[in-house]
Structure 1
Amino acid sequence: MKKQLTIAALLSLTFSYSQDTYQQDTSAVKEIKEVSITKKTFKKESDRFVYDVSRSPVAKGNTAFGILKATPLVSSTDDKTLKVLGKSNAVIFMNGRRTNMNAEAVVELLKNTPAENISKIEVITVPGSEFNVESSEAVINIVLKKKLDDGLNGNFRLTNHQDYYNQQSGAVSLNFRKNKLGISTHINGSNWQRRQYYSLQNGTVEYQNTSEGPIADPNLNLGGYLNMDYALTERQNIALSWNSWANRSYGSKGELFNTIITPAGTTFTKTINDEDARSYNNSLNLNYEIKTDSSGSKLNMNVAYLNYKRFQHNINSTFNSNTQRETLDLTNRFKQRAPQVIDNYAVTADYLHKFKNDLTVSVGGNFSKTETDNDTYFEKLNQASGIYIKDDNQSNHFIYQEQISGAYASAEKKIGGKFSGKLGLRLENTHSFGEILNSDLSIKRDYSNLLPFASISYDINEQNNISYSFSSRIRRPSFWELNPVRTYLTPTNYIQNNPFVKASEVYNNNFTYMFKQSYFFVVSHSLTKDDFSQIPLQNGDELRYIRTNYGDKVEFSATVGTQKSFFNSILTTNTNLGLQINRVDAFLDQDPITGDQFSPFIIDTHTNSLLIQTYNTLRLSSKKDWFLGVNYWYVGAHILNIGTLKPLSSLDISIKKIWNDWTFNLEATDLLRTNIVKVDDTQGNGNYNFVTNDQFNRGVQLSVTYSFGNKKIKGVRQIDDASKDAKSRTR
């Protein structure tokens, strides 16, 4: 049930990490001319890889999310997040403007945006100092199609997906240009329900607990965007962008049957959680751009506002039960109300100057102010009186304010036609203050970070290129992670957020060798100092997942891959094969909020994992109207901060028919039922914690897309949203 009973918060790292482990960072590749794939489909330009979607055989009838999964260096294993090789969740831009929405809204938008709207996808594996992004985040910029003359065009898409439940979605996109005015708008809606089944096993020498059962989470979504761009003069433009998204999840229900074994005997209980939740996300961005010369120098300024609201109410009830899993007498019930409101105000200014001697210099700065309000109300049922009584220990009103100021300078230079290099330096200052009203708890932080960036590339000859890059970044906790609220799975098993979580430092090194502009070999190393996540602490029959800083994490990877077409473009493949070595050094024995002592949780080990990813499109007819898609990925077992993730894999097959302006696409996912998350951890003191999550990923989806109107439409220009850095830290 959202982040609450679905235990998405508990397994957020598990799901995202399962994807990180089979993608390696090719960030240091520089000055590769281009890869010859289906009329130059994939090529390297300066600091980014460019995928020409308009020339791709997998584009028509696909969605933005689907085409991103088929984009070189990008993939997804959980159908919820997108990764760039070796990176955490990718930051999504559209026309150079960050999609200023929370993660769920971005996924809904991408899954309902037809790929026919896209001209190209730019993948920036290691963003330079000019990018204000967190940690090792990569940037994916989706460039919408451009017009050659005035007019109106658009498309609509209908999708029906069947796995455990039936799900429907629809979307409409319109593009209009008249003289100096350009307008682009998109509206999408969906009605989906996800079935999940959990098995949670944990225990100590004397206590053992098993909780298992289904979770159903119905969702209604409505969202979209409106972009308007007006040319004041030949060199000056002004633009206004509005993104909006609303979600309603009423009637979510989770049922966990609990078997508790203690020295006194075995007892059975059933925990039922009923939840109603709704979320809203709205953002505005005003942009002004002026070109200062004919060589491409320009000044770009943005002012933005973001408002995010989430209202959640749940009733958690535990009953005595028996071996037949019948619901007997009530033993415990509580209500929890946990609203969250986030307001973000941001401004940015960037100036880029291009000199005649192949030198490009960029300078700029940003300021962001965020205010969050989290008013959690917790009340327990007094069974004798039938009255709910407020629990002051678990009710709190947490206020958090944060200001981030940043400035950067970078210079990029080409030397002699074979060498190119880039140096950058970013300075960030963070000032934050959080407090629980009417209590003694408050946290104040004021710190600065100097973040260098460097890269160099050398073209040995027309067929061989080597490159290296180094970057340093800060990873800050999401705003919801700082809210000190508990999310109960059972009365003795819950997730605890933490306002004391500190930012982590991340250092990345990448070496890349490219051969014949089609094949690449990448070695990547990443060190995260004082990383944070959810760490399981056990004491008797109690299990707390504490969100806190736990230690260091090291990732080393080596991968070989290709993106290429064969047999006169009948077969197009995007394939990677790699090895990843992960090391985690974790230690925790105390709840950082309450100070309660637990048996130590320790991880001091490493794992070696095999990684396979292959996406293939086979053209079945000479008319180019029938296509077969065969996709497969595999992730070997590897260590996480909460235990060892068992192997994951998925085989997906699709068939597509193009008929004039209509496209029909039928897809079957996870045919072998191998995409089931399993995490195991056994401590030296005998404590164990096993988690299994089955999301019923096997399913069938049919989509129908129709395009209409003038196909020669000039798109709105690329804009970079000022409040982009706050978006990814909302829920």
Structure 2
Amino acid sequence: MKYLNLSFLFLLFFVSTGFAQTGKISGKIVDSKDNTPLESATIKVFKSGETKISGGNLSNKSGEFSIDKLSYGSYNIEISFIGYETYKSENILLEASEKDLGVIKMSSSAMMTDEVVVEGEMPIMTFEGDKKVFDIGKSSLFKGGTAIDVLKKTPLIDVDADDNVSLRGSQNVKILIDDKPNRMGSLKQLPAEMIEKIEVITNPSAKYEAEGITGIINIVLKKTSQTGYQGTAMLNFGTYDKYTGGLNLNYKKDALTVFTGGWLGIQNYRFDMTSSINYLVPVSSYLNMDGKGKNFSKFLYLPLGAEYEFIKRNTIGLEGALTLASFSGSNNSRNDLLNANQNLVSYYLRNNDNAGEFNNYFVSLYYTGKLGEDKELSADLTISGNNTDFNMTRVQKDYDVFGNLISPLFPTSKETTNNKSDFITFQSDYVHPVSAVSKFEGGIKFTNRKNDNDYVYDSLDYNSGQYIRNLGTSNRFQLTDRISAGYLMFGSSFGKFSFKTGLRLEHTFSKGELLTGGQNFEKDYLNLFPTLSLTQKIGDMNQIQLAYSRRITRPNIWRMNPFRVQPDPRFIFVGNPDLNPEFTDSYELSYSLYTPIGTITPLAFFRRTKDVISQYSYLTDSNVTVITYKNASAFNSYGVDLLLSSSVLKWLNLNSTFSFYETKFDEALESNYKAEEGFSWRANIRSTFIIGDLFNFEVFYAYNGKKINAQGTGMPSSNLDLAITKTLFDNSTTITFRITDIFKTSKWGNDVTGSGYIATNSTIPDSRIAYLNFSYRFGNTNKYMTKQKKVKQNMNEGQDQQQDQSRPQ
């Protein structure tokens, strides 16, 4: 077979380089307004005076295209892209090996009626292959904010009080930064000014790792690629001691590109918290909590990289980044114990103080290039690691009903947690066109990740005044995952219909070692993940798309650690090493409709998930709540997202999203309770008012309805944000003032029904914050152009998800 393949390739080479004089037509397609490369634009080539297609292709992520094996002569070219006017050029003379058309600028469509003219505006969402791309680079609502602020305002995405990110109501989502794993301790360490756009892939193709039920969120950072140098400086001030500042620098000369920068920040956050637990057995009683807290953090982010195009369209690059962060916080609460008549029996005061550090690094060596005229090969080796030290001191004082100090039920304690993670990833991808409209894609990927969690618990001995190691709670647990994968895809098109199908094979080996107590376990499984995408273009403006994918969610280190931890006399946390991965079949139907008054994009989806990994809690005989995890049977989730965009008036742009979700579990985690099911909805609207040449004024409102989980529901929440932006000095300087959550309506919480108890908890952040932001662009700003890193188009490693925000603190 090897010799047959070589012979076949040699034959192809011989035919393509025979006696006939042939060449190729190439170029690059960008948006006419901001020079953003347009991926997946359709290019067709015709012999002048003929209607039969002589060749065709799709533009890649950098907007580049090449149509090969064209005989010498005169040609007409036609380029189409959803939401843009069709580009046509005639009588292109091909009389050498290559005719480079250079940069082709396409304009978004201008739709006309008898009454109004709608100026071309970039839609709220555009399709780029299997991606839904949300362009946020021009919005002033994010100035001075972080990546968390950006995600909160991105359609389909939600963020809770602990910065857990959800896509369509599920936290089982992979988060990437520039197509690489997110290794930051918190997305609050990533300034919004560094972000160009958000890519959402709800049904990833077989090229992408299968991890993550709801798909992938890729945060694309700003870069530049023009000759010379270009930079951006930013300074931001926020109320309650919030400060960020940074610098991006880019330099390009000939085949060499260098990019670097530095960002630092200080963040302070405050919040109120309440909870109420009604214990139903053995007799009714209550525990009510009311408290306040604050968190402080500071970070430094230092990226550095370089690319060298050693042969035309063949590039090697080396990049890396270092993140240094520290954090501290405290919360104080009063906890009242009540009898069945809700009369006070006793109470206790608790103070939790915490502090820690987070350090992260990554280094990536990559290559991308052309093999011959039309084949593509890329490879990437990434080594990364992070280390987190977390320390907490808990002080509790107990009082009787008259306020007299009594012996504490829970002694003063110190907790120290060290978590280390190391990752090695290698990936290689290959693209082999077989015709102008058809191509095979294939690749391999190897991932090795090791997590080491060391938890130490010390209790204060009141007699000696010394802390004593609690061996019954302290533990060290290691989890190693080795994932090997390969995939094969084929895509083609017939007229305005196109399809892409693929199959991915993943082998997973996991080994857990509880070094405290010597308990070990292993998991070994092999799975197939098919994918399919069908697209039908309707005219040059609209399209309908149907997609299917199979996904997996593997249990992480916190959910599998079998050691029992009791940081509170009334709560026990324990993992479950017998957890199995959960699998999801995901279907989606989408349609893009462009009308004279705007764009309408409905998205319908259905997901069927089996062996659902769910947090599960129950009550012991001594009224101690045990919180653990188990595989529920299955659940269905389905819904509709409706995205609307309009710019009928030159001075007003409107973007809205309405989402309606239904979730139903097949059966409850406890047999004596009804399985949870329910309807959720969320909506947001963003309006931009252009006040002549004076300033821009933006308004954003969002409402999130209740959310359904295995044992209860999440509370609804809403917020209203405002922003005003003014540009000065030939648009090189921008000043932005914005206010978040003006009416302080943001909150998060849950209602939980467990075995023997009913609980309610809520957190209200101090979210009404005013920001003042200054940004300045310098260098070759008149030639600004967004850079799309060449190799990153094939990288899709997901977030490791080894840090579970639900872990007790």
TM-score (norm 2): 0.77
- Which amino acid in 2 is paired with 1:649? S
- Per-residue CA shift, 1:621-646, capped at 9, x if unaligned? 2x2x4111111111222322341222
Indicate whether 1:201 and 2:273 are aligned.
no
Partner of 2:521: 443
Asked if residue 542 in structure 1 is aligned to residue 648 in structure 2, the reply is no
* Deviation readout 1:320-367 (Å, 9 max, x if unpaired): 136798987655122222111111111111111223231121101111
2:297 aligned partner: 219
Higher relative contact order (CA 8 A, sep 6+): 1
Contact 1:361/1:409 (<8 A) preserved: yes
SS state at 1:338 partner: strand
1:657-668 superposed matches below 5 A: 657-660=726-729, 661-668=732-739
Matched position secondary structure for 1:302 = strand
Distance, in Å, in 2 between the alignment partners of 1:674 and 1:277 is 31
Distance in 1 between residues matched to 2:298 and 2:344, nearest whole Å: 45
Q: Distance in 1 between matches of 2:666 and 2:560?
A: 23
For the residue of structure 2 that corresponds to 1:385, the secondary structure is coil
Gaps (5+ residues) in structure 1? 1-29, 590-599
Q: What do residues 444-503 of structure 1 show as CA deviations (whole Å, max 9, x unaligned)?
A: 100011111111122344455332111101112333444456676643135444444332
CA distance 1:79–1:182, shift in 2 (3 Å): farther
1:222 to partner: Cα distance: 1.3
Assess, with a 3 A threshold, how the Cα gap between structure 1 residues 109 and 409 changes in structure 2: closer, same or farther.
same
Q: CA deviation at 1:373?
A: 1.6
Question: Aligned partners of 2:402, 2:269: CA distance in 1, in Å?
Answer: 26
**C-alpha displacement at 1:433, in angstroms?**
0.8
CA distance in 1, matches of 2:586, 2:520: 33
Query: For residue 170 of structure 1, what is the aligned residue in structure 2?
Result: 245
Partner AA of 2:129 in structure 1: S
> C-alpha separation between the residues in 2 aligned to 1:566 and 1:586?
49
Superimposed CA distance per residue, residues 564-615 of structure 1 (whole angstroms, 9 cap, x where no aligned partner)? 32212x22222122322122346446xxxxxxxxxx7845132123321211
TM-superposed CA distance for 1:513, in Å, is: 2.7
Kindly provide the CA deviation profile for residues 84-106 of structure 1, in whole angstroms up to 9, marking residues without a partner as x: 55664764555x541541350x4
Matched, 1:34 2:83: yes
| AA partner of residue 718 (structure 1) | K
Q: Deviations over 1:198-227 (max 9, x none)?
A: 112112222321122112221111113212
Find the aligned partners of 1:664 and 1:79 in 2 and give their Cα distance. 30
Q: Percent identity?
A: 22
Whole-angstrom CA distance in 2 between matches of 1:344 and 1:426: 22
Q: Does residue 802 of structure 2 align to residue 729 of structure 1?
A: yes
Partner of 2:130: 47
| Structure 1 residue aligned with 2:216 | 138
**CA 1:218 to 1:86, structure 2 compared with 1: closer, same or farther past 3 Å?**
closer
Residue 760 of structure 2: aligned partner: 690
Question: Structure 2 unaligned runs (5+)?
Answer: 1-57, 59-79, 85-107, 110-118, 805-809
Q: Which amino acid aligns with 1:706?
A: Y
Q: Any idea what the Cα deviations from partners look like across 1:677-712, whole Å, max 9, x if unmatched? A: 1322345x7620101111122221221111111223
- Matching of residue 429 in structure 1 with residue 507 in structure 2: yes
Residue 339 of structure 1 aligns to a residue whose secondary structure is: strand
Verify: 1:248 aligned to 2:326, yes or no.
yes
Contact 2:355 2:391 in 1 (8 A): yes
User: Is 2:625 the partner of 1:554?
Assistant: no
Alpha carbons of structure 1 residues 637 and 68: separation in structure 2 relative to 1, 3 Å:
closer
Change in Cα spacing, 1:232 to 1:63, as seen in structure 2 (3 Å) is farther
In the alignment, which of 522, 526, 543 is matched to residue 607 of structure 2? 526
* Structure 2 counterpart of 1:676, one-letter code: K
Residue deviations 1:212-258 (CA, integer Å, cap 9, x gap): 211222111111321211112113211111122122123x2122211
Match of 2:368 among 271, 289, 303: 289
Matches within 5 A, 1:48-197: 48-51=131-134, 56=138, 58=140, 65=147, 80=163, 88=171, 91-94=174-177, 96-102=178-184, 104=186, 106-111=187-192, 113-114=193-194, 118=196, 122-135=199-212, 136-142=214-220, 144-149=222-227, 151-162=228-239, 165-197=240-272
Q: Does 1:237 align with 2:310?
A: no
Contact 1:374 / 1:483 at 8 angstroms: preserved in 2?
no
Instruction: Provide the C-alpha distance between the structure 2 equivalents of 1:574 and 1:486, rounded to a whole number of angstroms.
Output: 49
Listed one character per residue, the Cα deviations across residues 43-89 of structure 1 (whole Å, up to 9, x for unaligned) are 333323445667x4659957674666666656657694666556647
Q: Determine if contact 2:563/2:575 at 8 Å carries over to the other structure.
A: yes
> Are the equivalent residues in 1 in contact too, given 2:421–2:449 (CA < 8 A)?
yes
- Is 1:613 aligned with 2:684? yes
Q: Which one of 253, 256, 260 corresponds to residue 337 of structure 2?
A: 260
| Residue of structure 1 equivalent to 2:552 | 474
Query: 2 CA distance for matches of 1:326 and 1:108?
Result: 45
SS in structure 1 at match of 2:791? coil
Whether the aligned pair in 2 keeps the contact of 1:81 and 1:107 (CA below 8 Å) is: no
State the SS of the aligned residue for 1:170: strand
Are 1:418 and 2:487 counterparts? no
Say if 2:802 is the partner of 1:719: no
Alpha-carbon distance change, 696 to 97 in structure 1, aligned in 2, over 3 angstroms: same
User: Cα RMSD (Å) of the superposition?
Assistant: 3.1
Return closer, same or farther for 1:406/1:70 CA change in 2, 3 Å cut-off: same
1:677 corresponds in structure 2 to 748
Amino acid of the structure 1 residue aligned with 2:623: D
Distance 1:676 1:62, change over 3 A: closer
Q: Is the 8 A contact 1:677 1:694 kept in 2?
A: yes
Contact map agreement 2:82 2:542 (CA 8 A) in 1: no
Instruction: Report deviation, 1:422.
Output: 1.0
Tell me how far 1:154 sits from its aligned partner.
Answer: 1.0
Over 3 Å counting, the alpha-carbon distance change for 1:278 and 1:435 in structure 2 is same
Once residues 45 and 533 of structure 1 are traced to their aligned partners in structure 2, the CA distance between those partners, rounded to angstroms, is 34
The one of 579, 583, 603 equivalent to 1:505 is 583
Residues 449-488 of structure 1: pairs in structure 2 closer than 5 A: 449-462=527-540, 464-484=542-562
* Residues 262-309 of structure 1 deviation map (CA, whole Å, 9 limit, x = unaligned): 5797111112222221111111111012211333x3111111111111
Distance 1:33 1:232 in 2: 35
**Contact 2:346–2:401, Cα closer than 8 Å, also in 1:** no
What secondary structure is seen at the aligned counterpart in 1 of 2:311?
coil
- In the TM superposition, 1:4-15 aligns within 5 A as none
SS of 1:724's equivalent in the other structure is: coil
**TM-score normalised by L of structure 1:** 0.85
Residue 773 of structure 2 is aligned to residue 703 of structure 1: yes
Distance 2:358 2:539 in 1: 54
Q: Distance in 1 between matches of 2:145 and 2:461?
A: 51
Secondary structure of 1:364's match?
Answer: strand
Q: Determine the structure 1 residue equivalent to 2:71.
A: none
Task: Say if 1:702 and 1:90 are closer, same or farther in 2 by CA, change over 3 A.
Answer: farther
Is the CA contact 1:368–1:404 (under 8 Å) kept in the aligned structure 2?
A: yes
Task: Within 5 Å, give how 1:278-427 maps onto structure 2.
Answer: 278-295=357-374, 297-321=375-399, 331=409, 332-415=411-494, 417-427=495-505
Total equivalences in the alignment: 675
Letter of the 1:346 partner, please give it.
T
- Classify 1:578/1:303 alpha carbon distance in 2 versus 1 (closer, same or farther; 3 Å): closer
Note the C-alpha offset of 1:560. Answer: 2.4
The CA deviation string for residues 400-456 of structure 1, in whole angstroms up to 9 with x for no partner, is 2111001111111111x2211111111111001111125242111000111111111
Contact conserved, 1:457 with 1:466, CA < 8 A, in 2? yes
Which one-letter code corresponds to 1:632 in the other structure? Y
- Shift of residue 616, structure 1, vs aligned partner: 1.4
Query: Is the Cα contact below 8 Å between 1:208 and 1:541 reproduced in 2?
Result: no
Distance in 2 of aligned mates of 1:294 and 1:370: 37
